[in-house]
Structure 1
Amino acid sequence: MAPSTKPETDQDVAAGDPKPVRRPPGRLRRLLARPTVRVVVAVFAAFLAWLGWSVGGALLAPGNDSTAARLAEWGRDHHLGPVVTMLETAQYKMDPPKVGGTPAAIGLPPAAPAVDPANHGPAPALPPIPLAPLTSPAGGDPLPGEGTWHVLSSVRGTPAIQAAELRPDAAHTSYLAGVVSMDPRLVRFQLHPGTDDPGPDNWGVPPNIPPEDRTGLLASFNGGFKVNVNEARGGFFLNGVTHGTLTSGAASLVYYKDGHATVGTWDDGVSMTPDVVGVRQNLRLIVDQSAVPDDVDSHIESGWGLTIGGAYFVWRSGIGVTPDGRLVFAYGPALSVRTLANLLQQAGCVTAMQLDINPAWMSFNYYQPGSDPQNPTPTKLLSDQERPADRYFEPTSRDFTAVYAR
């Protein structure tokens, strides 16, 4: 019989075993026998194990961040920012903000029942602060209800939080931005840390709003960029603990022991005093002495944050203060730095700052009280806000502010 011509890579069948046994090709066996190759394979296997552990940890971290947001943050934290930006740019080019059109009808709900968290009982109602209607930057005839203030929350009979919706400019007319006015006589502000930013420390405040802290809860809104020299360009201070560096000249949202908050430039109008309990810095002012600086149109990515695709018009948020001490929050899709600043300026802000940007981080939620004070019903102000209304009931990766009835 002629000798077998089968190569050793074919199946050999063991005696008495009907299952074929496949052997690696001889060349592959010889290659794997080399010490240097074994080292490379071991290193690659270790890298894959680390990658799975690292990405898995990011995906399984507490909170309700979306998978896309978690992966993007993981990539930026591991020197893959250019890759993330390239993918976001491709996404933005496929679905840029629409020009023209008409938004869905403005449908802010009726006012919630008045809240009296301290059980003061009958008390003289404070006179409400009159708010002038906002003029739509889109021009022309306003939509029904556009720019009109609606009461979201009252405290002992007086409007405490009011909101308006309006189109942000004459081009992006199918979108609505939200503007919220908060009366410091009736509400107090509480800064909360995030699990990742500023990160775990002895802050004395949890990275969420647990049930025992929901009595009298009226609203919540997002914080700013990541606290580092390349993004927020400022620091974070809460209850005696500092992350990063509180930086002179930085736009700062400052929280005080009596519950009020204000916005200003650090070391030039606002500074550290014994009454300060929290500071959240982010970039520079976008409204200063009631004026919008010319440079809000310059260096959009390098000066005002890395937007999706480097675009001017993305989801943005900001906060400012009026001469009578009201805090005003504004946010929405298809906003530039200037159109955000214009909204805050029109709402009466003498100083204002940008907070976070891009859809994964935007939130303004308000809460309707029910029979159980620890279980208010959360609602998004803008219906197209990506993050859920109960976002801050779970531990969250980014800092935020909770607003309570006094």
Structure 2
Amino acid sequence: MEISDVEALRSAAGVAALADAVAEGDPLALATRLRAAGHDPHLVSLALTQQRLRRSAAGKLGSDAAVMLFTADAVEQATRASVAERRAARLAGSGATRVVDLGCGAGSDLIALARAGLDVTGVERDPVTAAVATANVEALGCTDRARVICADATSVALDGYDAAFCDPARRAGGRRVFDPDAYSPPWSFLLSVAARIPRTAVKVAPGLDHDRIPPGAEAEWVSERGDVVEAALWFGPLAETPRRASVLPAELTGSGAREAPVGEIGGYLYDPDGAVLRAHLVAELADRIDGRLLDPAIAYLTTDSPADTPFARGYRVEHVMPFGVKRLRAELSRRGVGRLEIKKRGTAVTPEQLRPQLKLNGPNAATVILTRLGTAPIAILGQPL
């Protein structure tokens, strides 16, 4: 997409084409109908692409997506509305008033910051994406508090801002970038922003090595509906705890350096959420649920009584046995299990390899958790709580 395409979509003819392109169905047939109705063929192509991108973005951005413009990369990299709103509220609650959003993309965080009452300037290096963000700010009625400038983040004067949000590009050549030094802008620049503007938040890859977390910064992992969707570093007065696992809307905090107790398998087993695992807060979760690890090297917790927690998925333990395909197959057959959830940790066995060997047949459903105690592989049969 070019800047001229963004301008075309914002014109009266573009708005009309977008409205007529809302209908779902065979894209080729719809394109034919739109051209027959008098829409410019190039606008038809642009409008159909935008409606496809809007449908893709709706899962992250809700109803806002229906009036926004996107590039394909912007949809993939956009912050979920629930996460952006929560971050904006935290920045606003810190006393910040004027924020610079470095790497604003299509503007999901930019708009959330403006809606939280902050004056925000978005900076985007790519001209087309900057034009898209400007269009989205206008479409969502945020021009009184938000604006977009097209520039390299490293060249922008930061004087006058009392908070910063940095969302560096973490893709190159279509592939994810895991090394912070290869982010754009690079890690050294992001740290320099935090040094100049104490209230700084930096979006990072969820796989960030804990060794790269600067002293005094808070590292947070955010999970929604069971998926770790984001990680962020909070600096200065925004850093409230060393580690935070946010399983929206609940939060678990701690040092990330403690070891959980280890003990015998009880009547219940808990599989911690990915945010808890990445934040190294299994010990803090064990405290919450009065639990213990089955094995010191494997992050499954067990309890003697059921615990109500948003930070882990729980199972009632029904049977524990040494793992072996024939033994497991016989036990599942005896129980009449035809639908099986297979979970694993600490074993090389894969569900894809195991499932056909079990020859499942029966009316019942169950879960099997494959793990080990020391070097001994075991299978735990249970039912989800």
TM-score, structure 1 as length reference: 0.17
Whose Rg is larger? 1
Does 1 or 2 have the higher relative contact order (CA < 8 Å, sep 6+)? 1
Query: Which structure has greater helix proportion?
Result: 2
